[in-house]
């Protein structure tokens, strides 16, 4: 009787709990498969944890929450060591050889079970390693894996796995499409929102170990004492989850908040100011990660204001944090209005001569491509080209150029495409991934109840963490994990949603930027198409700079007869791109200017291929709608409806992209949109007239 009552209560509870997406992938609803549940339950009767430190308390709580939810039973995890426990969680367990333990390093873990009645073991060399092991173990249960005969060794491939928030102190988020910043600076440090805890749990569950919480377009106020107290409160909380806090440093802070006349990095007073500032920060936050810096880029102050180099600037900050073991992450996203060179080439030209000139605690953070987080970009030529400098990858999780808050686009294939690209810098097989020391993702998180606005944005946060941990995971496996944890393990649902996610990025490329077109978004907010824009002050802010369409053809010639950006790549990497005949279609107009009647590999002319791709993109969104709709019965109403409505928007916007771009390019090609395709609904003037003064994220 008692048992039935409990079951009833649990059932009522699960109905009452709206599926609003807040729980992310850490949903711990009771497993539907009863025999699996009993099996797990029998295997997990008592758990032993090696203490009660803050990190172990986090692990204990998570296990209790997960097991009571998934298995529907309360598992007590007493503080005292229990040698008879069925799940033994131990630091540097004696049951594992010294050699194996050594292989786990600081953050890795091992999960082992020999089957039968022998206890399960999770071990690591550190508490945070144990925490990662616990989250991994919970994931096994959530995704309904067998826990008999486990022998898992997981070691992160990159030491720095990071989120970069572009959050302003007024709580707006640059390029944020999920509400306001989750950092409530006004109520910090006294009020600690539950969100901070759930944010840390989510990050720890995917191995994120560093977060930079302020916009790279930085505000010096964050470095003042009242704000540092607020940052300390967050850092104190995140510490138990293995997460270090970084701040963005405004290069002119010594002038703005320090009262100095200059921020020249070679000026001793400036150097001293930063040393004092670092000391002040480390007194509050002993494990402060360090500074992330955008300097001399898009109007931000920097060392070049004083005729110094990026290395001079980075090294000054690096010296200030070095004795505290802090890092300086210096962004390579630079291009200058004064330099007439192809924007594609500028970061490389600027940073190549600086290789070997940075202090050892400087990391240079490079965007995945040389332009700016486009739906598709060839990898940045700086990867592998700075052998003496630790390099971080910067991906953009927030979908500034990929449909913002309303398009379903799974980004793991984009991330993987870059990570697996061959730079050839140290011979064949020098993948981009192999050249990295860390990976950062520009966050897509905000105050929306489901964190990311679009529910599927959660998958991109998840994928970034998983790939930073292990870039060899496949996009498919990551999608499947996420779907199983976020929705259900139903095989047809998993298969349908996986297919949809895997195809989604290419679908967007087709209706937005096919055949290597890029940066033809409306300017400023970057929402919607704007290939016609040509009136902005700086040439490289105009879409016309990038597509170069005229009556003869379209595309950016980056070969030796054009800007020669190709010469910045290793010749073996550049080879396939240099000739239109061998250049893959996906990159064709990125590297080549070609006539409208150029014959593509498909046999279609370039113009017809454009028409084909744009229409394929639109039709594929209809296909996504069909896939989603046919899984309705397997999905909860709230999340089903939300994604359904967003897919409707995506479909309309895909048509908008197609019609606006084809009409505009047609004004040059003077060729018809072939008959089988839907003709544009409105005139080019109509699309040009659309204004979005309050588009988000700007």
List, by residue number, the catalytic residues.
298, 372, 400
Residue 220 three-state SS: helix
Which one of 83-91, 290-298, 450-458, 534-542 is the stretch in contact with ligand GCW (CB under 6 A)? 290-298
Token pair in block for residue 680:
């544009």
∠ CA 462-465-466, rounded to 5° = 85
CB of 443 to ligand GCW, least distance (A): 12
Q: Does residue 165 touch ligand GCW according to CB under 6 A?
A: no
Cβ neighbour number for residue 92 with a 10 Å cutoff: 15
Total residues binding ligand GCW (CB under 6 A):
12
Binding-site member from 25, 132, 166, 415 for ligand GCW (CB under 6 A): 166
Q: Which residue is nearest to ligand GCW (CB)?
A: 372
Cα 593 to Cα 615: distance, rounded to the nearest angstrom: 22
Residue 113 three-state SS: coil
Sign of the dihedral defined by the CA atoms of residues 566, 571, 576, 579, in that order:
positive
Within positions 322 to 361, which residues make up the interface with ligand GCW, using CB under 6 A?
A: 333
Cβ neighbour number for residue 43 with a 10 Å cutoff: 17
CB of 386 to ligand GCW, least distance (A): 19
DSSP run (H or E) holding 366: strand 362-367
Token pair in block for residue 687:
């699309």
- Could you give the C-alpha distances from 546 to 342, 370, 532, 663, in angstroms and in order? 10, 13, 11, 17
CB of 215 to ligand GCW, least distance (A): 6
Q: Which is nearer to ligand GCW, 21 or 531 (CB)?
A: 531
Binding-site member from 175, 232, 592, 655 for ligand GCW (CB under 6 A): 175
Within positions 400 to 429, which residues make up the interface with ligand GCW, using CB under 6 A?
A: 400
Q: Which is nearer to ligand GCW, 222 or 662 (CB)?
A: 222
Q: How far apart are the first and last CA of the chain?
A: 58
Q: Are the CB atoms for 438 and 173 separated by under 8 Å?
A: no
Query: What is the side-by-side strand order in the sheet with 151-154?
Result: 47-48, 87-91, 120-124, 109-112, 151-154
Q: Does residue 372 touch ligand GCW according to CB under 6 A?
A: yes
User: What string marks each residue from 49 to 88 as x (binds ligand GCW by CB under 6 A) or -?
Assistant: ----------------------------------------
DSSP run (H or E) holding 327: strand 327-331
Binding-site member from 373, 424, 461, 511 for ligand GCW (CB under 6 A): 373
Q: Which is nearer to ligand GCW, 23 or 518 (CB)?
A: 518
DSSP run (H or E) holding 122: strand 120-124
CB of 367 to ligand GCW, least distance (A): 7
User: What string marks each residue from 608 to 647 as x (binds ligand GCW by CB under 6 A) or -?
Assistant: ----------------------------------------
Within positions 384 to 403, which residues make up the interface with ligand GCW, using CB under 6 A?
A: 400
Q: What's 406-445 look like in SS3? A: CCCCCCHHHHHHHHCCECCECECCCECHHHCCEEEEECCC
CB of 221 to ligand GCW, least distance (A): 17
Q: Which is nearer to ligand GCW, 128 or 391 (CB)?
A: 391
Q: Does residue 380 touch ligand GCW according to CB under 6 A?
A: no
Within positions 205 to 264, which residues make up the interface with ligand GCW, using CB under 6 A?
A: 216-217
Q: Which is nearer to ligand GCW, 164 or 430 (CB)?
A: 164
CB of 554 to ligand GCW, least distance (A): 23
- Could you give the C-alpha distances from 101 to 56, 127, 140, 147, 198, in angstroms and in order? 19, 14, 22, 21, 30
Q: Does residue 294 touch ligand GCW according to CB under 6 A?
A: yes
Q: Does residue 528 touch ligand GCW according to CB under 6 A?
A: no
Q: Which candidate, 89, 92, 158, 152, places its Cα nearest to that of 125?
A: 92
CB of 681 to ligand GCW, least distance (A): 29
Q: Which is nearer to ligand GCW, 298 or 319 (CB)?
A: 298
Binding-site member from 20, 29, 174, 267 for ligand GCW (CB under 6 A): 174
Give the position of tokens 């490079």. Answer: 366
DSSP run (H or E) holding 244: strand 244-248
Q: What's 380's DSSP letter?
A: P
CB of 322 to ligand GCW, least distance (A): 26
Q: Which is nearer to ligand GCW, 505 or 525 (CB)?
A: 525
CA atoms in the 13 A half-sphere facing the CB of 325: 5
Token pair in block for residue 308:
């110094």
Residues near ligand GCW (CB under 6 A) are 166, 174-175, 216-217, 294, 297-298, 333, 372-373, 400
């Amino acid at each position: 009787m008692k048992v039935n009552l409990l079951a009833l209560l649990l059932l009522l509870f699960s109905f009452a709990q709206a599926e609003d997406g807040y729980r992310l992938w850490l949903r711990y609803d009771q497993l539907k498969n009863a025999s699996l549940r009993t099996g797990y339950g029998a295997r997990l009767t008592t758990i032993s944890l090696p203490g009660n430190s803050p990190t172990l308390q986090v692990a204990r709580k998570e296990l209790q929450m997960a097991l009571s939810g998934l298995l529907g039973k309360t598992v007590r995890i007493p503080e005292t060591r229990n040698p008879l426990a069925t799940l033994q969680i131990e630091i540097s367990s004696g049951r594992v050889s010294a050699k194996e333990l050594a292989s786990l390093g600081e953050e890795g873990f091992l999960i082992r079970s020999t089957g039968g009645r022998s206890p399960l073991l999770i071990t690591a060399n550190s508490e945070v390693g144990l925490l990662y092991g616990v989250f991994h173990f919970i994931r096994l249960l959530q995704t309904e894996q067998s826990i008999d005969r486990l022998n898992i060794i997981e070691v992160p491939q990159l030491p720095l796995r990071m989120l970069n928030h572009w959050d302003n102190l007024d709580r707006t988020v640059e390029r944020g499409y999920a509400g306001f910043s989750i950092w409530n600076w006004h109520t910090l440090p006294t009020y600690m929102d539950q969100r901070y805890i759930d944010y840390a749990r989510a990050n720890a569950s995917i191995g994120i170990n560093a977060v930079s919480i302020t916009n790279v377009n930085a505000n010096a106020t964050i470095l003042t004492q009242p704000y540092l107290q607020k940052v300390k409160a967050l850092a104190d909380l995140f510490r138990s989850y293995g997460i270090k806090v970084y701040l963005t440093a405004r290069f002119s802070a010594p002038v703005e908040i320090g009262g100095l006349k200059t921020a020249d990095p070679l000026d001793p007073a400036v150097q001293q100011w930063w040393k004092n500032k670092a000391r002040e920060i480390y007194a509050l936050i002993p494990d402060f990660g360090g500074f992330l810096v955008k300097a001399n880029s898009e109007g931000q102050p920097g060392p070049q204001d004083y005729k110094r180099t990026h290395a001079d600037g980075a090294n000054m900050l690096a010296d200030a944090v070095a004795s505290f073991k802090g890092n300086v992450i210096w962004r390579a996203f630079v291009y200058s209005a004064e330099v007439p060179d192809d924007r594609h080439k500028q970061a490389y030209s600027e940073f190549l001569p600086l290789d070997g000139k940075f202090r050892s605690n400087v990391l240079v953070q490079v965007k995945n491509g040389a332009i700016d987080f486009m739906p598709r970009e060839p990898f940045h030529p700086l990867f592998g080209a700075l052998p003496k400098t630790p390099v971080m990858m910067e991906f953009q999780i927030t979908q500034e150029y990929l449909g913002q808050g309303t398009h379903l686009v799974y980004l793991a294939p984009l991330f993987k495409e870059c990570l697996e690209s061959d730079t050839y810098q140290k011979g064949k097989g020098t993948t981009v991934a192999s050249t990295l020391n860390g990976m950062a993702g520009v966050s897509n998180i905000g105050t929306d109840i489901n964190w990311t606005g679009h529910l599927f944005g959660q998958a991109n946060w998840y994928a970034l963490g998983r790939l930073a941990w292990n870039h060899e995971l496949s996009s498919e496996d990551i999608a499947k994990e996420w779907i199983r944890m976020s929705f259900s393990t139903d095989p047809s649902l998993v298969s349908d949603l996986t297919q949809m996610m895997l195809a989604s990025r290419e679908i967007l490329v087709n209706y937005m930027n096919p055949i290597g077109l890029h940066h033809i978004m409306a300017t400023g907010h970057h929402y919607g198409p704007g290939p016609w824009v040509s009136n902005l002050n700086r040439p490289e802010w105009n879409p016309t700079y990038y597509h170069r369409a005229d009556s003869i053809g379209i595309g950016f010639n980056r070969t030796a007869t054009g800007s020669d950006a190709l010469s910045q790549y290793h010749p073996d990497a550049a080879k396939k791109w240099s000739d239109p005949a061998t250049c893959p279609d996906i990159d064709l107009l990125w590297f080549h200017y070609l006539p409208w009647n150029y014959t593509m590999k498909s046999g279609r002319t370039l113009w017809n291929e454009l028409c084909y791709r744009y229409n394929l993109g639109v039709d594929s969104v209809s296909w996504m709608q069909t896939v989603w709709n046919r899984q309705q019965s397997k999905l909860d109403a709230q999340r089903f409806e939300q994604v359904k409505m967003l897919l409707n928007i995506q479909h309309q916007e895909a048509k908008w992209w197609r019609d606006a771009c084809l009409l505009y390019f047609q004004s040059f090609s003077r060729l018809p949109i072939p008959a089988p395709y839907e003709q544009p609904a409105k005139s080019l003037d109509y699309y040009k007239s659309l204004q979005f003064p309050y588009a988000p994220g700007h």
